[in-house]
Amino acid sequence: MSPPPGASNGHHHHDSHTVASMESGGAAARKRFTWKGPVIVLAFELLESIAFSGVALNLVVYLASVLHGTTAFNAAHVDTWNGTTFIVPVIGAFLADSYWGKYRTILVAIAFYLLGLALLTVSAAVPSLRPATACPMGATCAPATKTQYSVFFAALYLTSVGTGGVKSALLPFGAEQYDGDDADGRPERKQAFFSWFFAAINLGIFIAGTLVSWLQQSVAWALGFGVGAACLLAAALAFVAGTPWYRVQMPAGSPLRDILRVLVAAFRKRRVSLDAAVPLHENDTKADGVGAVGAGQQQQRLARTKGLRCLDKAAAVVKEDDGRDGVAAATSSSAWSLCTVSEVESVKVLVRMLPIWATCVLYAASLGQMTTTFIQQGMAMDTRLGGRFKVPPASLVSAEVVLMLLWVVLHDAAVIPLARRLTGRPGGLTQLQRMGVGRFLVVLALGTAALVERRRLRAAHGGSGPPMSILWQVPQFLLVAGSDVFCGIAQLEFFYGEAPAAMRSICSAFSFLALSLGFYVNSLVVTLVAAVTRRPGWLAPDLNAGHLDYYFWLWTVISVANLLLYVVLAARYTPKQVAVEPMPPHHHRGGGGGSDE
């Protein structure tokens, strides 16, 4: 597949003009900005979110009621599929950054995605591809045949590969539309895009959790899956139709190779003492080709930062003994012996982001209480509203999506403008500050849940009056929604904005990897608590006999510790610094490169 008109062809010419062009995305970045590209990306994400959530939210129900799987079988396969779905974006991001580019990666992923959803719809619609009768929840029924399972899981994992590929590249591709001359000095445009991208994800989840889920369980599963397939087809057609308006930045080779080069070069020169007399190899291109390799040419030119001096040795220009009577010769021009400052700084950025990312894993585990223990707590409360009407405990998760959309509006309409006036920054609060606010709000949410559970237990043990209303859970869901908006949006911006230019897809996929690991951490904590507290334990089958409030307090303590660790790391974090490349006197620099941040 060829890139859209105006995209770079990916060839590497070792002159300063080409370096400047590639830093700004080449010809693609010089295309005039239009809102059509970002709007199509946002519409794509909304429709894709409906399609994916229409499968994910009801997967365990379909396995139980239609394919007649056992509880253990269903849980194991749902966990395996979820794990695969959130690991694939890391692989897709590597391909997008290294070989295919984001545009091509999305197109390839769409093909897998459509095939998977179409096959899923067929498997639910054709009688021979599913058991003849439905199985009531909780009943024991004859399971599906091997052929029926094979077709279903083939469709399911094709869908997983498709959605993983889209998740890996769509967000950074949409953000790239704001890179270029006419976007410089307007960071609020890109910041608003991240907010609305986040809103599109959650609006899609809400629509799938209400309308699509109702169609699947009340009308026909094939119709529900078919609606998802139709949504993705419409998204694909719109994405292809928008090709003429896109800015596309093509990859320049594997960034992992450049990371290894920096580490190897630094190790080879580990005994070199860095002082004022030791020059560092800057980004100017040499005639012998030193520094003109791989993805380093596509990266922004980065300024040297303090800290991690051991890596600076990779860029040190030193003299080596050539073995002839002790005559000193210039250091080897091998790419594995000498790197540029920008290549070294790219590795520094990754090293500095990793501790911040580790706190994202614990944060994701804290948020995981919303879909597990919060629902269990609601099941033990009075769900009646206005007499006969009952609120399903899980419905507050859907209500949380609505609350998140309200928080997005409040975030963009009030919080950010107020922060701009107070701080004087175009973006208001920094990304790290907003991530800190999100982590603080989740502490309040878990503490609120503990207090509500403590009051519920007292009422249950006292035996006087009706049980507590489920509406007491609204404050904790409201706080979780605010936490997710502040931290979720900021994390998307942070991992994209701080990433080296050649690794933006991979770094953007860090959020999905943190979410995946957060589920595993949650499972580990539950297992340890069950083993330590024994029967009936804090998480007793009958919550009135347990202490779910202690469990919430435990997670509050974990979240406080995570918040304190994050504050220390954020205060010590050194952000990426973009250097201004000097203009060679013999070249006219067109386009306008430099930073897009």
| Rounded CA separation 9/6 (Å) | 9
Measured between alpha carbons, how far is 271 from 254 in angstroms, rounded to an integer?
A: 29
Q: What is the per-residue pLDDT for 594?
A: 36
Lookup result for tokens 């585990």: 365
Closest CA to 148 of 123, 116, 185: 123
**556 and 446 Cβ atoms separated by less than 8 Å:** yes
Q: Are 539 and 551 in contact (CB under 8 A)?
A: yes
pLDDT for 226 equals: 94
pLDDT attached to residue 282: 74
Instruction: Name the 3-class secondary structure at 17.
Output: helix
Q: For 299, what's the count of Cα atoms within 13 Å in the CB-facing half-sphere? A: 35
Q: For every residue of 208-219, which 3-state class applies, written as one string?
A: HHHHHHHHHHHH
Contact between residue 566 and residue 553 where contact means Cβ atoms under 8 Å apart: no
Could you write out the DSSP letters of every residue in 188-235? HHHHHHHHHHHHHHHHHHHHIIIIIHHIIIII-HHHHHHHHHHHHHHH
Judging by beta carbons within 10 Å of its beta carbon (0-12, 13-18, 19+), is residue 156 exposed, middle or buried? buried
Identify the pLDDT of residue 173.
Answer: 87
Q: DSSP class of residue 294?
A: G
Q: Which of 180, 225, 236, 215 has its CA nearest to residue 52?
A: 225
Q: Closest Cα to residue 65, out of 74, 76, 56?
A: 74
Is residue 177 within 8 A of residue 33, CB to CB? The reply is yes
pLDDT at 575: 84
Is residue 441 within 8 Å of residue 486, measured between CB atoms?
yes
* C-alpha 545 chain-centroid distance: 39
Candidates 258, 414, 422; CA nearest to 343 is 258
pLDDT value at residue 76? 61
501/102 Cα distance (integer angstroms): 12
Give the pLDDT confidence score for residue 596 in this predicted structure.
35
Q: Could you state, in chain order, the average pLDDT of each consecutive group of 10 residues for the chain (597 residues)?
A: 36 35 43 78 93 83 77 64 79 81 90 95 88 66 82 92 88 79 58 81 84 84 92 94 83 76 88 74 48 41 82 80 43 71 87 92 87 78 76 69 82 83 79 92 95 89 75 90 86 83 76 79 81 81 84 94 96 80 43 35
Residues 6+ apart with CB under 8 A from 533: 539, 547
Cα–Cα distances (Å) from 474 to 138, 454, 555, in that order, read 30, 16, 19
At 227 the pLDDT is 94
